[in-house]
Amino acid sequence: MGPLLDEIAIFLAAAVIAVPIAQRLGLGSVLGYLAAGVIIGPWALGLIGDVEQVLHIAEFGVVLLLFIIGLEMQPRRLWALRKTIIGLGGMQVGLSAAALALAASLVLEMPPVPAIVAGLALALSSTAFALQLLAERGELTARHGRSAFAILLFQDLAVIPILALLPLLTAGSESVSFLGALWETVKIALVLAAMVVGGHYLLRPIFRLVAATRMHEIFTAMTLLIVVGTAVVMEATGISVALGAFVAGVLLADSEYRHELEANIEPFKDLLIGLFFIAVGMSINLGLIAAQPLFLLALTAGLIGVKATILFVLGRRHGLSWPAARGLAAYLPQGGEFAFVILSTAVAGGLFVQAEADLLVATVTLSMVITPLFVKLVAYYNTWRMPKSEPAFETPEAAEHPVFIAGFGRVGQIVARLLRAKHVGFTALEINADQVDFVRKYGNKVYYGDASRLDLLRAAGIEQARLFVLAIGNREASLRTARTVREHYPDIQLIARARNRKHAYELMDLGVTVLQRETFLSSLELAGDALKALGFKPDEIKRAKTLFRAHDEKRLFEHYHAADDETRYAKLVMEAAQELEEQFERDAAEHAGE
Q: Is the pLDDT of residue 178 over 80?
A: no
Query: If you average pLDDT over residues 290-298, what whole number do you get?
Result: 89
Q: What is the pLDDT confidence band of residue 73, given thresholds at 50, 70 and 90?
A: low
Q: What is the pLDDT confidence band of residue 311, given thresholds at 50, 70 and 90?
A: very high
pLDDT tens track for 433-464: 777 776 766 666 677 778 888 878 887 778 88
Query: If you average pLDDT over residues 483-504, what whole number do you get?
Result: 88
Backbone angles phi, psi at 138, to 5 degrees: 65, 35
Each residue of 172-200: b (16+ CB within 10 Å) or e? eeeebeeeebeebbeebeebbeebeeebe
Q: Indicate the range of 11-25, 231-245, 315-329, 370-384 predicted with least confidence.
A: 231-245
3-state secondary structure 230-290: HHHHHHHCCCCHHHHHHHHHHHHCCCCCHHHHHHHHHHHHHHHHHHHHHHHHHHCCHHHHH
Of residues 413, 418, 421, the one with CA closest to residue 438: 413
Backbone angles phi, psi at 429, to 5 degrees: -120, 135
* Cα–Cα distance measured from residue 543 to residue 203, given in angstroms and rounded to the nearest whole number: 46
Q: Is the pLDDT of residue 282 over 70?
A: yes
Q: Is the pLDDT of residue 263 over 80?
A: no
Q: Is the pLDDT of residue 85 over 60?
A: yes
The pLDDT assigned to 74 comes to: 63
Q: Is the CB of residue 328 less than 8 Å from the CB of residue 311?
A: yes
The pLDDT assigned to 203 comes to: 76
3-state secondary structure of 491: coil
* Cα–Cα distance measured from residue 243 to residue 156, given in angstroms and rounded to the nearest whole number: 8
**Structural domains of the chain sorted by starting position, each given as residue range(s) with its CATH number in brackets:** 1-380 (1.20.1530.20), 403-517 (3.40.50.720)
Residues 6 or more apart from 366 whose CB is under 8 A from it? 284, 289, 296, 297, 300
* Cα–Cα distance measured from residue 255 to residue 128, given in angstroms and rounded to the nearest whole number: 24
Q: What is the pLDDT confidence band of residue 175, given thresholds at 50, 70 and 90?
A: very low
* Cα–Cα distance measured from residue 91 to residue 99, given in angstroms and rounded to the nearest whole number: 12
Q: What is the pLDDT confidence band of residue 390, given thresholds at 50, 70 and 90?
A: very low
Of residues 523, 457, 519, 530, the one with CA closest to residue 488: 457
Q: In degrees, to the nearest 5, what angle opens at C-alpha 549 toward C-alphas 546 and 555?
A: 140
The pLDDT assigned to 78 comes to: 60
Q: What is the pLDDT confidence band of residue 170, given thresholds at 50, 70 and 90?
A: low
Q: Is the pLDDT of residue 291 over 80?
A: yes
The pLDDT assigned to 174 comes to: 47
Query: If you average pLDDT over residues 214-235, what whole number do you get?
Result: 79
Q: Is the pLDDT of residue 81 over 80?
A: no
The pLDDT assigned to 232 comes to: 79
pLDDT tens track for 465-474: 899 999 998 8
Residue of higher predicted confidence among 410 and 301: 301
Q: Is the pLDDT of residue 64 over 80?
A: no
Q: Is the pLDDT of residue 346 over 90?
A: no
Using a 10 angstrom Cβ sphere, with 0-12 exposed, 13-18 middle and 19 or more buried, the burial of residue 251 is: buried
Query: If you average pLDDT over residues 196-200, what whole number do you get?
Result: 73
pLDDT tens track for 6-56: 777 888 888 888 888 887 877 777 778 888 888 888 877 878 777 667 666
The pLDDT assigned to 93 comes to: 94
pLDDT tens track for 93-124: 999 999 999 999 998 888 888 999 999 999 99
Residues 6 or more apart from 408 whose CB is under 8 A from it? 416, 428, 429, 430, 435, 436, 439, 444, 446, 471
3-state secondary structure 447-486: EECCCCCHHHHHHCCHHHCCEEEECCCCHHHHHHHHHHHH
